[in-house]
Structure 1
């Protein structure tokens, strides 16, 4: 029965892939516009493809090395799962970016007719990406689980536990690729963005995406490699983690002393993939609710799709737990519905809070824009304060979701307990993360349409389209900034819940193998681990921010050189050397992305080999500060960006004013905050946690030898 129920996951994933193929084909059939527009789009396509191919070459070398280490230290199957996770993540990103880089000119051309038509093209492009990410992830993960875990005799949970350790390699591969994709893409896009803004807008006084700006093509390429391919890899790993974390917990509890009846154990291990499978279908249904009319609220149009998908998903999940309840003898699994609702409600609430702090319709952004009247310094101060303030409510909501999900989990299994004092109610916490990201496909769709609209605005400006076309694409882009911030909020919150589940699995696994393994604040090694772990997100942020700074410095100097040396640029008599700026972003991103990504794997493995308990403290410290840094940096960056756009709408002097120049400076500070360092934090904590769990057999062997 387990295998039969679990097959629903790859079937729904296949449906998602087919719908993604249909949507992508529909987008590509739309009119790309005249040759002038299409030629700009082709330059963006070529730049994005060239970067991804170069990035993937480096990732292949990295993955081969890690896979060999895994094959020797763990098992060949774990290594193969690792490669599978990485390849499927990269493939989803590539397909989504392929469509997005062709949807930009089609969106710009559609905007000549109406904003509604432009939204239709850009959103279907975004949902193509969303369905690819969710479907590829669920297809790969569910097949590994079916063949290695669900297909095992349920009366042999110990073998299941051994095998799921191999499946963890899939999540490790997905997280590793996500980190490199986010960091590499983030460095690329922000180096170009900072160079284009500081020299173009502030020094030369020309509009955004002006064809005279040498960094314009690199900037538009960066929107795709960072905010489409990088973001897709980010959500791929978050989604994978949210499904795998409760599954690992259920198997761990079944294998190491938890009390499930046989029937309840079967349901516990398959429920996460079934919830995810239903989420793909509900996301497809949500597509039909995203439509608007000229002059209507674009945000409401996108929210309708998200809320419809969430509402249907809630009904489906309730039905799922009702069926489980009818077949359970000793447990009350209907209470797990409460755990899932805790995750869903927290996710939606965090999204609304993020919207409040980042949207140009609300007071925090208005205050940053007002601060621009007194200069760049006050813009930066106000933005930092806003970002810090924005951490309070999301962290409280995550804490309440943990408490609520844990309580419902204990109510579901009142007679269950696990050795080491770990309560089975934590299974509910894992399901809360699954519920939060169950509609990942449409969440990404609402996010990924933004870079397409941003590119469309750039093409409209460079091709000299009428002002109303740029106004329409800017309206789409402004909403896209907010939806992107909301998607990051979901990813960050779910990462925290998933990391807790994986952390508990690590603790239970180590305690079972090493009876005196204990995590206590009276152990100086554990306390030292907490401090080192708490330091990791700061070190990671420093490395990635520094990388953007160095790359942006080179970009600024190149743009200044071209303005200075190439005669006729400002008079439209000479074309800038766009390829020089594209080359700077590409080389800088590829060079700078390796160190942070490698450290995220090496450090936890090194600490775990030295002392597994110290690694437990390390993970606790990293999760706590990583979540805070992620929320702070992402929201501060989003608020700075929309404060600039709010001024550009005509407030506080409008475009070209001193307030606008100050806001542009604030926006350039916020660029690496929101698109490089901030969104990489949730990947960092997930990657380090899954690495710890994946390599736990090695730590156990080393400890036995000491």
Structure 2
């Protein structure tokens, strides 16, 4: 357990670093009274939303706690499951909450820093992003390390083989709380932010013809609030869940692979190394004044690449010293995941950045109207799925075979799981480059609303435009890691069911042949659930955005002097509409995610659930990539036109691009990123309810 103590130390180091960074941000100048006033409104709106969200989430968690407690009394789950469910959800929500707090303090300070220099604004916004990134990985690692230590102590009277089996079996269920909270945070925040964004754009830009973030627009504060609750708080909870999921699935599969305690601690040590590497690499992110987009991107990429090199080198010594040279293939599995993440990020950038041909071609389609740019965006997103799917497929093949899968199937599954750990090992710095984007976006909005010098907005726009690219690559990274983690969870689900069978009286045996009707039906249902989930989330944004459009139109019509800048818009009403709509829409979406694997399991049995998870993973991965990349390309095509090409702002091309962007908003910021939570949450639910499904399944 000395290795676990080392992991614990690294997680605490990460938290101390985050506190240090956070305090240094607070020492920066927040700006004049007008800047502070706008920032306070954004903070109040974000706090009001999260307060309302946590009330609804608390009810859900209480109900699920009671269900798990009853299941534990009847022996279907461990007594630790109800409590780990609550703790996991709390820490997932806490990581998002801390991220939102930091972001809403940093936005005004970034605006003020942009008055002096571009590098000063980059420094503050990125430093804020690094706090969010390091907090997420540190809390996740702390959670698992403490759980590992506690369970090892609790089962101390068992032999080492039995003890590590019990530890990993119980720790596998830790992620369900994190997954549940991530669903609420990402989907709820996504509905909020995109309803406000779409409503503000359709009325403000298209109908009325005023600039983005114009203070006359009643939805503009809600839009800025949404950047924090969706793209920061939601994203933080989402990636916390991915991170924890990859670590616990690989640790659990280590036992089946015959690697015992040593195999279980390797992924935790790689993750601990990643925390240290991410902290170190943050000091290398800096840019010269008046840097081009290309140089700004290089500045951010520098941090990611340095962190990746440190993990790549350090992981070799971890694997060699703990697992021995006979299992050195596990190291190449880690490398496979690490490079797969970098490649997916690069090709996501290629399809979504206006520096490359696909997005520039998409922008040119605006010359013939909104219809063609929407068709082009859908086509681009569909085409963009090919390379990430091939990358993940190759990574799985390499990880499986090089870890020893040809001789030991379970060892190959462990290799796949630990490749996901390799991909997520640099999450601290990767998330920092992603999270800084919404902060820069907020800074630009504050600059516009507080009527700063145009040079300030030019600098914040440069950071915001870059943030769109890093956000797109961050989503590609998250979705790619979700695919690998989901594959590991499917293997862990099978292993969990087989362990239950061994310890009980059931004589069940898996028959995962594609010709087995249970598996085949499960595959179809899994594919369908992805579409149903996507439909519900898109529809939720559409309904909420419609309410915002009606409210903004009403205010422009009824508030005297609003268009002339003499009247004061009612920002609070738009925030309230978005908040209520987001929470109301979440109920059905949460039920679909949690109930589907249980219902399928009770009707079709464990074989049907395996098919369900496989179908959802395959369909969900491709659809998530397509929607995220289509949305990112539409957004950057609009910004490319705003830079002065094809008529610039206010032109017919720009109006067409705005329509494309409003379609893409829920694609890239609500549905696309939420699908990866769906496929992992269903896997976790299947594992936790495995004993119940095995006992009561009809087929």
TM-score normalized with structure 1 length: 0.95
Query: Which of 431, 451, 464 is 2:418 aligned to?
Result: 431
2:300 is matched with which residue?
Answer: 302
Shift of 1:362: 0.6
3-state DSSP of counterpart to 1:406:
helix
Alignment of 1:395-544 (within 5 A): 395-410=389-404, 417=408, 422-512=409-499, 513=501, 514-544=507-537
Relative to structure 1, the CA distance from residue 149 to residue 626 in structure 2 (aligned partners, 3 Å threshold; closer, same or farther) is: farther
1:670 is matched with which residue?
Answer: 664
Deviating more after overlay: 597-606 vs 387-396: 597-606
Count of residue correspondences: 683
The CA deviation string for residues 238-269 of structure 1, in whole angstroms up to 9 with x for no partner, is 10111111111112x0xxxx5x3xxx422201
Please say if residues 209 and 462 of structure 1, whose CA atoms lie closer than 8 Å, have aligned partners that are also in contact: yes
1:7 is matched with which residue?
Answer: 5
Residue 84 of structure 2 is aligned to residue 81 of structure 1: yes
Alignment of 1:687-706 (within 5 A): 687-702=681-696
Distance in structure 2 (CA, Å) of the matches to 1:58 and 1:167: 26
Query: Which of 261, 266, 269 is 1:274 aligned to?
Result: 269
Relative to structure 1, the CA distance from residue 432 to residue 16 in structure 2 (aligned partners, 3 Å threshold; closer, same or farther) is: same
3-state DSSP of counterpart to 1:175:
helix
Shift of 1:517: 2.3
1:388 is matched with which residue?
Answer: 382
1:285 is matched with which residue?
Answer: 280
3-state DSSP of counterpart to 1:250:
helix
Please say if residues 161 and 260 of structure 2, whose CA atoms lie closer than 8 Å, have aligned partners that are also in contact: no
Distance in structure 2 (CA, Å) of the matches to 1:384 and 1:136: 37
Residue 579 of structure 2 is aligned to residue 586 of structure 1: yes
Shift of 1:11: 1.0
Shift of 1:237: 0.5
Residue 196 of structure 2 is aligned to residue 201 of structure 1: no
2:196 is matched with which residue?
Answer: 192
2:141 is matched with which residue?
Answer: 138
Please say if residues 632 and 664 of structure 2, whose CA atoms lie closer than 8 Å, have aligned partners that are also in contact: yes
Alignment of 1:539-618 (within 5 A): 539-610=532-603, 611-618=605-612
Distance in structure 2 (CA, Å) of the matches to 1:506 and 1:33: 53
Shift of 1:509: 3.0
3-state DSSP of counterpart to 1:593:
helix
3-state DSSP of counterpart to 2:218:
coil
Distance in structure 2 (CA, Å) of the matches to 1:60 and 1:273: 30
1:338 is matched with which residue?
Answer: 332
Distance in structure 2 (CA, Å) of the matches to 1:529 and 1:158: 33
Shift of 1:518: 1.7
Please say if residues 149 and 164 of structure 1, whose CA atoms lie closer than 8 Å, have aligned partners that are also in contact: no
3-state DSSP of counterpart to 1:209:
coil
Please say if residues 79 and 169 of structure 1, whose CA atoms lie closer than 8 Å, have aligned partners that are also in contact: no
2:38 is matched with which residue?
Answer: 40
Query: Which of 52, 56, 59 is 2:57 aligned to?
Result: 59
Distance in structure 1 (CA, Å) of the matches to 2:422 and 2:509: 35
Please say if residues 602 and 693 of structure 2, whose CA atoms lie closer than 8 Å, have aligned partners that are also in contact: yes
Deviating more after overlay: 684-693 vs 149-158: 149-158
Q: Which runs of 5+ in 1 are unaligned?
A: none
2:361 is matched with which residue?
Answer: 367
Distance in structure 1 (CA, Å) of the matches to 2:210 and 2:342: 39
Distance in structure 1 (CA, Å) of the matches to 2:140 and 2:410: 29
Query: Which of 15, 25, 31 is 2:23 aligned to?
Result: 25
Distance in structure 2 (CA, Å) of the matches to 1:597 and 1:588: 15
Residue 242 of structure 2 is aligned to residue 238 of structure 1: yes
TM-score normalized with structure 2 length: 0.96
Shift of 1:661: 0.3
The CA deviation string for residues 592-613 of structure 1, in whole angstroms up to 9 with x for no partner, is 1121122211111122223111
Shift of 1:700: 2.7
CA RMSD for the aligned pairs? 1.5
Please say if residues 6 and 150 of structure 1, whose CA atoms lie closer than 8 Å, have aligned partners that are also in contact: no
Q: Which runs of 5+ in 2 are unaligned?
A: 72-76, 502-506
Please say if residues 510 and 517 of structure 1, whose CA atoms lie closer than 8 Å, have aligned partners that are also in contact: no
Deviating more after overlay: 604-613 vs 278-287: 604-613
Query: Which of 636, 649, 656 is 1:655 aligned to?
Result: 649
Please say if residues 254 and 414 of structure 2, whose CA atoms lie closer than 8 Å, have aligned partners that are also in contact: yes
2:74 is matched with which residue?
Answer: none
Distance in structure 2 (CA, Å) of the matches to 1:537 and 1:140: 30
Please say if residues 630 and 678 of structure 1, whose CA atoms lie closer than 8 Å, have aligned partners that are also in contact: yes
Distance in structure 2 (CA, Å) of the matches to 1:294 and 1:461: 21
Shift of 1:152: 4.8
Distance in structure 2 (CA, Å) of the matches to 1:515 and 1:58: 39
Residue 102 of structure 2 is aligned to residue 107 of structure 1: no
Distance in structure 2 (CA, Å) of the matches to 1:268 and 1:392: 33
2:626 is matched with which residue?
Answer: 632
Distance in structure 1 (CA, Å) of the matches to 2:515 and 2:64: 35
The CA deviation string for residues 324-354 of structure 1, in whole angstroms up to 9 with x for no partner, is 35xx4xx712111110111011110000000
Distance in structure 1 (CA, Å) of the matches to 2:310 and 2:580: 46
Distance in structure 1 (CA, Å) of the matches to 2:154 and 2:354: 51
Distance in structure 2 (CA, Å) of the matches to 1:207 and 1:150: 61
Distance in structure 1 (CA, Å) of the matches to 2:328 and 2:345: 27
1:351 is matched with which residue?
Answer: 345
Please say if residues 527 and 615 of structure 2, whose CA atoms lie closer than 8 Å, have aligned partners that are also in contact: yes
The CA deviation string for residues 244-302 of structure 1, in whole angstroms up to 9 with x for no partner, is 11111112x0xxxx5x3xxx422201001111111111000010110011122110100
Please say if residues 78 and 168 of structure 1, whose CA atoms lie closer than 8 Å, have aligned partners that are also in contact: no
Shift of 1:6: 1.3
Shift of 1:28: 1.2
Shift of 1:378: 0.7
Distance in structure 1 (CA, Å) of the matches to 2:60 and 2:171: 20
1:180 is matched with which residue?
Answer: 184
Deviating more after overlay: 517-526 vs 455-464: 517-526
1:90 is matched with which residue?
Answer: 93
